[in-house]
């Protein structure tokens, strides 16, 4: 009975030993598991670090490339800036040369315009002088007015505004010429030619023998003595001394002289010739005939048309033009030294680039 308890204590020790062994194994396993986890975590960290290191290396390489590219771009920018500076200097030089060329061209253009205006003014003066002489020598108001119109058109092409007022003077003289001009010369010549053609058909005044015979006693006595004695009245009429052909020839000559005077623009001679023709019609032709009345009416119309008007006083516009040209030439000669002085400065400035 006394030996039983020791057996129980040995079993408890074994159980305790087993428990301790289990605890030791569990602790060892836990420690190993923790170490394994740490090793796994360390491996993942190392792989992440390696990956990060690779990425950093790639970034460093990329940054190095970017830096190299930046340096290259900076170099290119520097080169471009140098080129731009050179181009800017060349452009400034070109601008200076262009200014010099513009100045030279402007002076040349002024000289050209001055020569062009001088030529136009010469033409204007010639036309005015031509119109004045045509009116004074030939009394051709329409031809003179046409010359004045051409002079006004030529003067309108002059760029100098100092001659603008001269156009009003030319226009005034031209209007005066047109107002003093007679009717169309061609129409008057045609009318005179028609009168010459109709002159051969105009009836003459009836002779005394064509009158109605007297049926009284004295008429019978006169007819009885007519075979022995012929009595005619002489009232100064051309028919009393010449035949009808001569009368018509004289009328035709008067009308021909009127035509020649109209062609020569001699209004006085044409007026005198037409008056002689009208007097011939009144003295030698039948005043009661409609043809004669119509011819005399035409002559009266022609006399009214060629009636000389008051002569037009020309020359004011020509004198004004000459005075303006003299003043303009004097002003140009006074300003030419001052305008010529800046020329060397502009040429040297253009040669500087």
H-run or E-run covering 130: helix 4-138
Say whether pLDDT at 337 is over 80: no
* Structural domain range at position 166: 95-179+311-335
pLDDT of residue 276: 92
H-run or E-run covering 27: helix 4-138
Residues with Cβ within 8 Å of residue 284, at least 6 apart in sequence: 204, 205, 237, 238, 239, 247, 251
Question: Is residue 292 located within the same domain as residue 326?
Answer: no
pLDDT of residue 221: 62
pLDDT of residue 183: 61
Residue 193 included in any domain = yes
Say whether pLDDT at 209 is over 80: no
Mean pLDDT across the chain: 78
SS3 265: coil
Q: What is the pLDDT of residues 154-204, one digit of tens each?
A: 988 888 788 888 889 999 999 988 887 766 777 888 888 898 888 888 888
Say whether pLDDT at 260 is over 50: yes
- DSSP H helices in 139-204: 141-156, 166-180, 185-199
Say whether pLDDT at 76 is over 70: yes
pLDDT of residue 104: 74
| Counted domains in the chain | 2
Rg of the chain, C-alpha, whole Å: 65
Residue 99 included in any domain = yes
Closest CA relative to residue 285, chosen from 277, 231, 189, 297: 277
Question: Is residue 113 located within the same domain as residue 168?
Answer: yes
Residue 15 included in any domain = no
pLDDT of residue 311: 80
Residue 88 included in any domain = no
Question: Is residue 264 located within the same domain as residue 199?
Answer: yes
């Amino acid at each position: 009975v006394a030996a039983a308890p020791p057996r129980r204590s040995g079993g408890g020790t074994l159980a305790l030993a087993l428990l301790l062994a289990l605890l030791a194994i569990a602790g060892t396993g836990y420690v190993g598991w923790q170490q394994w986890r740490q090793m796994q975590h360390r491996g993942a960290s190392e792989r992440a670090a390696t990956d990060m290191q690779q990425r950093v290396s790639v970034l460093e390489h990329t940054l190095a490339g970017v830096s190299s590219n930046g340096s290259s771009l900076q170099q290119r920018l520097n080169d471009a800036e140098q080129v731009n500076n050179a181009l800017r200097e060349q452009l400034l030089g070109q601008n200076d040369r262009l200014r010099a060329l513009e100045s030279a061209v402007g002076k040349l253009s002024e000289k050209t315009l001055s020569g062009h205006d001088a030529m136009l003014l010469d033409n204007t003066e010639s036309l005015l002088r031509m119109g004045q002489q045509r009116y004074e020598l030939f009394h051709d108001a329409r031809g003179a007015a046409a010359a004045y119109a051409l002079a006004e058109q030529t003067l309108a092409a002059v760029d100098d505004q100092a001659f603008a007022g001269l156009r009003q003077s030319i226009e005034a003289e031209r209007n005066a010429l047109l107002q003093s001009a007679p009717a169309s010369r061609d129409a008057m010549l045609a009318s005179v030619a028609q009168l010459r053609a109709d002159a051969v058909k105009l009836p003459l005044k009836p002779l005394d023998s064509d009158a109605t015979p007297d049926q009284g006693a004295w008429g019978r006595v006169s007819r009885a003595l007519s075979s022995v004695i012929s009595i005619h009245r002489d009232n100064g009429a051309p028919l009393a001394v010449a035949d009808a052909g001569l009368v018509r020839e004289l009328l035709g000559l008067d009308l021909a002289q009127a035509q020649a005077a109209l062609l020569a623009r001699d209004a006085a001679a044409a007026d005198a010739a037409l008056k002689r023709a009208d007097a011939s019609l009144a003295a030698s032709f039948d005043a009661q005939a409609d043809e004669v009345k119509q011819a005399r009416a035409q002559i009266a119309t022609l006399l009214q048309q060629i009636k000389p008007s008051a002569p037009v006083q020309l020359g004011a516009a020509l004198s004004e033009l000459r005075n303006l040209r003299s003043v303009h030439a004097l002003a140009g000669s006074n300003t030419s030294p001052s305008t010529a002085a800046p020329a060397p400065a502009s040429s040297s400035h253009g040669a500087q680039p």
